[in-house]
């Protein structure tokens, strides 16, 4: 990577001339410190592989939280021009529409007082975590309605609130979803998992708004210093994992038909206009709608927990700020072109004025939520015009891993980490100590630095900094 | 790959798989175990009567019915390798956890 060129304060480039198979340059947003961490794994090599995809335009782009993934790096963005540019299921990832939803409670941390521990405990009892068929919403045939319509299908069945749907990216429904494109195995895996957190880095976190950094924007988003918030991080569970697996295999089997050569088999792809491309996009949209509905159902369970511990008025006053996807491919228009924008571990961050943003927020920009590692800060951002000019309307999605789960477990035991977090005033509920250790704060990059970079790059600006006071980990 | 803290009662599943080549057959085998664990609450312990040809596999998997604590998400094709060397097969499969 000795030929990494510095373009400006926060942007670096690997020119397309570095490899014969690169169609466009690979660009990464970072500062010197983050770049050093990024260079520690194969993330930029993987970004160069992405730059070889047929139909890719402008550049393969990496956010400052980039880290090595499977084929496509996490924190990567690739836009392919329609109709013949490719779609790559690996460019979305296994957890289709993994994303984040932020709720605000109508009270401050001091008003919450000792109710904190009881609330964290009640949320842990109300939201099934871990793996398997643990969900309370066994919908049977109704599952297909969820795949087509997303959370609106749950509202129609009395689950959750209609105003939550209004404050969800794409109003919780990607168009073109077709349940028939979702395999029977994926249906089986999803049937009992609606309303469940999952494992890995998924969580429900109780937080305090520590600092408001943009007063007018925070006021519009309904955030005030000292306020209690709840951040929900989950995705499409086994259903999405199976959709990705199914379609990676299909595309792997047909790539020679389309004359596609790949540096990594996990980048398997097909023209978006091909039968295989259309089938994946229909199944991916269905899985994305399932994920929006999953977070909607989790939010409904959280409100019920709030009602039991803090009363109906507090539950009624608990409002959804927004819900964002960070693993998805969407058809968007950029610079007069119809593009398929793959975001894998990257968040849409459209600027003020976009019709994709709810009218209440349209003068501010799209809300973006950036969870830090467990025990560190999270951020609320708002999209800026620079995102449209430089990154296909995209910003980062988190702190980004700095070490593997195995290495994290070798550095600290789960019980020790639990004690450390609780000593810092963070109530912790987690099914296994092993799972807790894998998400230790030191296993991630510094989230403060990551969001400073995206702000300096003009992709999104900081609105508020949130710190954890309790966490239920999947 | 799969953890549980429950003893569970004994169970078994017959598995029949086909794939375009041996490396994808290995992926399909692991995919099947994930599916059985996640959907059937089946913790596999041993494969018996295993019959592997170039593109097909059949086996009886015995194990326990119990609630899994951890299951991998998926079996990737990233850096997938399987080759015969010195009378043995060696493979590498990267799992998404």
Q: Grade residue A114 by pLDDT with cuts at 50, 70 and 90.
A: very high
Residue B8: which region, alpha, beta or left (left: phi > 0; alpha: psi -120 to 50)? left
Longest dimension (CA), chain A: 64
Q: Give the Cα separation of B74 and A131 in Å (integer).
A: 13
Q: Grade residue A132 by pLDDT with cuts at 50, 70 and 90.
A: very low
What pLDDT does A2 receive?
Answer: 54
- The most confident of the ranges A213-222, A398-407, A441-450, B46-55 is A213-222
CB contact under 8 A, A130 and B69: yes
Report pLDDT digits (tens) over A60-90: 999 999 999 999 999 999 999 999 999 999 9
- pTM of the prediction? 0.95
Kindly tell me if the per-residue pLDDT of A160 is higher than 80. Answer: yes
Q: Residue A398 has which token pair?
A: 């988190």
Averaged over B55-74, what is the pLDDT? 90
CB contact under 8 A, B77 and A253: no
Picking from A245, A265, A434, the nearest residue to B74 by CB comes out as A245
**What share of chain A has pLDDT > 90, as a percent?**
84
Kindly tell me if the per-residue pLDDT of A258 is higher than 70. Answer: yes
Report pLDDT digits (tens) over A330-351: 999 999 999 999 999 999 999 9
Catalytic site residues of A? 397
What pLDDT does B3 receive?
Answer: 55
What pLDDT does A4 receive?
Answer: 94
CB contact under 8 A, B41 and A244: no
CB contact under 8 A, B38 and A189: yes
CB contact under 8 A, A130 and B24: no
Kindly tell me if the per-residue pLDDT of A436 is higher than 70. Answer: yes
Tell me chain A's radius of gyration from C-alpha atoms.
21
Distance of residue A86 Cα from the nearest chain B Cα, in angstroms: 18
Tally of domains within chain A: 1
Kindly tell me if the per-residue pLDDT of A138 is higher than 60. Answer: no
Q: Give the Cα separation of A319 and A137 in Å (integer).
A: 22
Residues 6 or more apart whose Cβ sits within 8 Å of residue B54: B21, B22
* CA distances from residue A160 to A163, A202, B75 in whole angstroms, order as listed: 9, 21, 34
What pLDDT does A445 receive?
Answer: 86
Q: Which CATH class is domain B9-96?
A: alpha beta
Report pLDDT digits (tens) over A271-317: 999 999 999 999 999 999 999 999 999 999 999 999 999 999 999 99
Residues 6 or more apart whose Cβ sits within 8 Å of residue A296: A101, A150, A151, A154, A155, A159, A160, A164, A165, A168, A172, A323
Contacts of A405 in chain B (CB under 8 A): 97
What pLDDT does A45 receive?
Answer: 97
Closest chain B CA to residue A134: B67
How, if at all, do strands A227-234 and B9-18 pair? unpaired
What pLDDT does A148 receive?
Answer: 97
Q: What DSSP state is assigned to residue B6?
A: -
Kindly tell me if the per-residue pLDDT of B80 is higher than 70. Answer: yes
- Residue A439 in domain: no
Closest chain B CA to residue A200: B97
Picking from A189, A252, A435, the nearest residue to B77 by CB comes out as A252
Averaged over A437-458, what is the pLDDT? 92
Coil vs helix vs strand at B21: coil
Report pLDDT digits (tens) over A375-413: 899 999 999 999 999 999 999 999 988 888 888 888 888
Question: Residue A211 belongs to what H/E stretch?
Answer: strand A203-212
Distance of residue B67 Cα from the nearest chain A Cα, in angstroms: 8
What pLDDT does B6 receive?
Answer: 63
Cα angle for residues A409, A452, A78 (degrees, 5° grid): 75
Averaged over A143-162, what is the pLDDT? 95
Among residues A379, A322, A317, the alpha carbon closest in space to that of A107 is found at A317
What pLDDT does A137 receive?
Answer: 65
* CA distances from residue A69 to A42, A45, A46 in whole angstroms, order as listed: 8, 11, 8
CB contact under 8 A, B3 and A432: yes
Report pLDDT digits (tens) over A181-225: 999 999 999 988 999 998 888 999 999 999 999 999 999 999 999
What's the count of helices (H) and strands (E) in chain A, helices before strands?
Answer: 17, 19
Mean pLDDT of chain A: 94
Residues of B with CB under 8 A from a CB of A: 3, 20, 24, 31, 35, 37-39, 41, 67-71, 73-80, 94, 96-97
- Residue A352 in domain: yes
Instruction: Give bridge partners of residue A256 from the DSSP assignment.
Output: none
Residues 6 or more apart whose Cβ sits within 8 Å of residue A8: none
Query: Is residue B81 within 8 Å of B89, Cβ to Cβ?
Result: no
Picking from B39, B75, B77, the nearest residue to A265 by CB comes out as B77
Query: Is residue A362 within 8 Å of A127, Cβ to Cβ?
Result: no
φ and ψ of A32, to 5 deg:
-65, -40
Distance of residue A431 Cα from the nearest chain B Cα, in angstroms: 8
Query: Is residue A260 within 8 Å of A109, Cβ to Cβ?
Result: no
Coil vs helix vs strand at A68: strand
CB contact under 8 A, A132 and B68: yes
Kindly tell me if the per-residue pLDDT of B72 is higher than 90. Answer: no
Q: Give the Cα separation of A75 and A453 in Å (integer).
A: 14
Picking from B69, B75, B97, the nearest residue to A431 by CB comes out as B69
Kindly tell me if the per-residue pLDDT of B40 is higher than 60. Answer: yes
Report pLDDT digits (tens) over A4-63: 999 999 999 999 999 999 999 999 999 999 999 999 999 999 999 999 999 999 999 999
Picking from B20, B74, B80, the nearest residue to A94 by CB comes out as B74
Per DSSP, the residues of B36-91 read HHHHH-EEEEEEEEEEE-SSEEEEEEEEEE---SB---EE--TT-EEEEETTEEEE
The CA dihedral of A173, A178, A183, A186, to the nearest 10 degrees, is 10
Q: Grade residue A133 by pLDDT with cuts at 50, 70 and 90.
A: low
Q: Give the Cα separation of A441 and A438 in Å (integer).
A: 9
Residue A103: which region, alpha, beta or left (left: phi > 0; alpha: psi -120 to 50)? beta
- Residue A395 in domain: yes
Contacts of A238 in chain B (CB under 8 A): 38-39, 73
For the domain that residue A145 is a member of, what is the CATH number? 3.90.1860.10
Kindly tell me if the per-residue pLDDT of A268 is higher than 70. Answer: yes
What pLDDT does A373 receive?
Answer: 82
What pLDDT does A333 receive?
Answer: 97
Q: For an interface test with A, which of B24, B77, B80 has the most A Cβ atoms less than 10 Å from its Cβ? A: B77
Among residues A470, A307, A440, A459, the alpha carbon closest in space to that of A394 is found at A459
- Residue A432 in domain: no
Q: Give the Cα separation of A365 and A130 in Å (integer).
A: 35
Q: Give the Cα separation of A80 and A331 in Å (integer).
A: 10
What pLDDT does B2 receive?
Answer: 53
* CA distances from residue A171 to A151, A233, A320 in whole angstroms, order as listed: 9, 18, 13
ipTM reported for the complex surpasses 0.85: yes
Domain ranges across chain B: 9-96
Owning domain of residue A336? 5-402+444-473
- Residue A418 in domain: no
Report pLDDT digits (tens) over B21-39: 999 999 999 999 999 998 8
């Amino acid at each position: 990577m000795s030929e990494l060129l510095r373009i400006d304060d926060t942007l670096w480039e690997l020119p397309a001339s570095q490899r014969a198979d690169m169609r466009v340059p690979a660009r990464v947003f970072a500062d010197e410190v983050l770049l050093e961490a990024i260079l520690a794994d194969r993330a930029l090599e993987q970004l160069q592989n992405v730059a070889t995809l047929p139909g890719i335009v402008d550049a393969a782009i990496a956010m400052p939280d980039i880290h090595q993934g499977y084929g496509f790096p996490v924190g990567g963005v690739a836009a392919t021009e329609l109709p013949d540019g490719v779609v790559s299921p690996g460019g979305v990832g296994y957890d289709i529409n993994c994303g984040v939803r932020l709720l605000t409670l109508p009270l401050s941390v001091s008003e919450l007082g000792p109710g904190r521990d009881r609330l964290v405990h009640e949320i842990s009892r109300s939201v099934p975590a871990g793996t398997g068929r643990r969900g309370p919403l066994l919908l049977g045939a109704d599952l297909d309605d969820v795949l087509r319509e997303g959370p609106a299908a749950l509202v129609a069945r009395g689950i959750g609130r209609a105003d939550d749907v209004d404050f969800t990216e794409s109003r919780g429904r990607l168009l073109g979803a077709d349940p028939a494109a979702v395999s029977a195995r994926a249906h089986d895996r999803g049937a009992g998992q609606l309303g469940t957190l999952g494992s890995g880095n998924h969580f429900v976190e109780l937080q305090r708004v520590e600092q408001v950094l943009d007063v007018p924007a925070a006021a519009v988003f309904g955030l005030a210093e000292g306020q209690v918030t709840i951040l929900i991080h989950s995705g499409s569970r086994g259903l999405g994992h199976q959709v990705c697996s199914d379609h990676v295999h299909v595309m792997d089997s047909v790539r020679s038909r389309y004359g596609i050569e790949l540096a990594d088999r996990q980048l398997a792809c097909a023209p978006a206009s091909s039968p295989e491309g259309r089938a994946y996009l229909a199944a991916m949209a269905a899985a994305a709608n399932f994920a929006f509905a999953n977070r909607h159902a989790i939010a409904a369970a959280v409100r019920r927990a709030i009602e039991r511990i803090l009363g109906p008025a507090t539950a009624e006053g608990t409002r959804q700020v927004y819900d964002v996807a960070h693993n998805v491919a969407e058809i968007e228009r950029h610079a007069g072109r119809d593009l398929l924008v793959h975001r894998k571990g990257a968040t849409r961050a459209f600027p003020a004025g976009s019709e994709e943003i709810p009218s209440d927020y349209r003068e501010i920009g799209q809300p973006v939520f950036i969870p830090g590692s467990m025990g560190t800060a999270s951020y609320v951002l708002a999209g800026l015009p620079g995102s449209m000019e430089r990154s296909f309307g995209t910003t980062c999605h988190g702190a980004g891993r700095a070490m593997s789960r195995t290495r994290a477990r070798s550095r600290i035991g789960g019980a020790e980490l639990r004690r450390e977090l609780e000593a810092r005033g963070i109530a912790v509920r987690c099914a296994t100590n092993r799972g807790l250790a894998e998400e230790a704060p030191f296993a991630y990059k510094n989230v403060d630095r990551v969001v400073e970079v995206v702000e300096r790059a003009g992709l999104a600006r900081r609105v508020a900094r949130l710190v954890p006071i309790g966490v239920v980990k999947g | 790959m799969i953890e549980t803290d429950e003893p569970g009662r004994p169970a078994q599943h017959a598995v029949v798989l086909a794939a375009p080549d041996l490396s994808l057959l290995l992926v399909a085998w692991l995919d099947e175990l994930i599916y059985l664990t996640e959907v059937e609450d089946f913790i596999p312990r041993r494969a018996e009567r295993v019959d592997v040809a170039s593109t097909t596999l059949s086996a009886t998997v015995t194990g326990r019915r119990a609630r899994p604590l951890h299951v991998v998400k998926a079996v990737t094709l990233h850096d997938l390798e399987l080759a015969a060397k010195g009378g043995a097969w060696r493979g590498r499969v990267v799992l998404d956890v």
